A and B are shown apart, each in its own frame.
Chain A
Amino acid sequence: MSTFTEIHALAEQRSALNARLRSLLVEGLELPIVAGMIEDDQPLFGRGLELDSLDTLEIVSLVEEEFEVYITDDDKSVFGSINKVADYIVANRPRP
């Protein structure tokens, strides 16, 4: 069973990961918004951030460079939101 301290540390790590992803998207895609304005469950495509398929390729490249995680063609739902991208990174990043 995890202690409160361990759970708190995990929550902080996740918060930091989401914040880094928001910054990565804003800087890498040159979005005209402040990173903090992107909500964790806000849709990235369509009526959300209005990203397009070319941005998908850029996100794949950014995530690979930053986290050494390669997003494959198999599951495009990965791009649903910041939280979904973060879930994918947590599940697939190399273990230390």
Chain B
Amino acid sequence: MSTVLTAAQILRRLPHRHPFVMLDAVTELVPSQSGAALKNISISDPVFAGHFPGEPIYPGVLLIEAAGHLCGLVMADLDEPAAPAIGYLASVKRFRFVTLVRPGDQVRIRATAGTRFGGMTDFSVALSVNGADVASGSLVIALPNS
């Protein structure tokens, strides 16, 4: 599995900054169509201070956010833009979480673009750890002025 975009390259393509930098690497990218990315879950992530004390479980809502970042990269220009466009998470549909994600896990995220209309794109996303499904669903990303 090769790296298509490093963490530094992702930072130049997405507007998010700490504590909302979610992806460690992009391993596949077909602009406007699909992509795959990795997210490493570390016990040093401050979110585990509260979710939950003594029982660290990575929040599902942040898995959705991470998948949204990959969708943004699929929609972004292939060349590094001067100022990354901000995409808005417009809809979360039919999301299901089947396995807990814990520190030490490496989450593989896949996003595939579907219907587009009026600056909005519907994505199917799937997340897995060691080949086992952890979550899946649909996200709609809206790019203003597109």
A61 touches B120 (CB 8 A): no
Give the interface size bracket for B toward A.
10 to 19
Residues of A within 8 A of B115 (CB): 57, 60-61, 64
Q: Chain A contacts of B91 at CB under 8 A? A: 54
- Set B114, B117, B122, B140: member contacting A73, Cβ < 8 A: B117
Q: Which of chain A's residues have a CB closer than 8 A to the CB of B122?
A: 57, 61
The answer, yes or no, to whether B131 is at the interface (CB within 8 Å) is no
- Judged by a CB distance under 8 angstroms, whether B118 is at the interface is yes
Interface of chain A residues 28 through 61 with chain B (CB within 8 A):
53-54, 56-57, 60-61
Cβ proximity bits B94-132 to A, threshold 8 Å, 1 near / 0 not: 000000000000000000001111101010000000000
Q: Are B114 and A54 in contact (CB under 8 A)?
A: no
Chain A's interface size range is 10 to 19
> Does residue B90 face the partner (Cβ distance < 8 Å to A)?
yes
CB under 8 Å from chain B, chain A span 77-91: none
Chain B residues contacting A53 (CB-CB under 8 Å) are 118, 120
Assembled-state Cα–Cα distance A71/B117 (Å): 8
List 7 A–B pairs whose Cβ atoms lie within 8 Å, in order of A's numbering: A54-B140, A56-B120, A57-B115, A57-B117, A57-B140, A60-B117, A61-B115
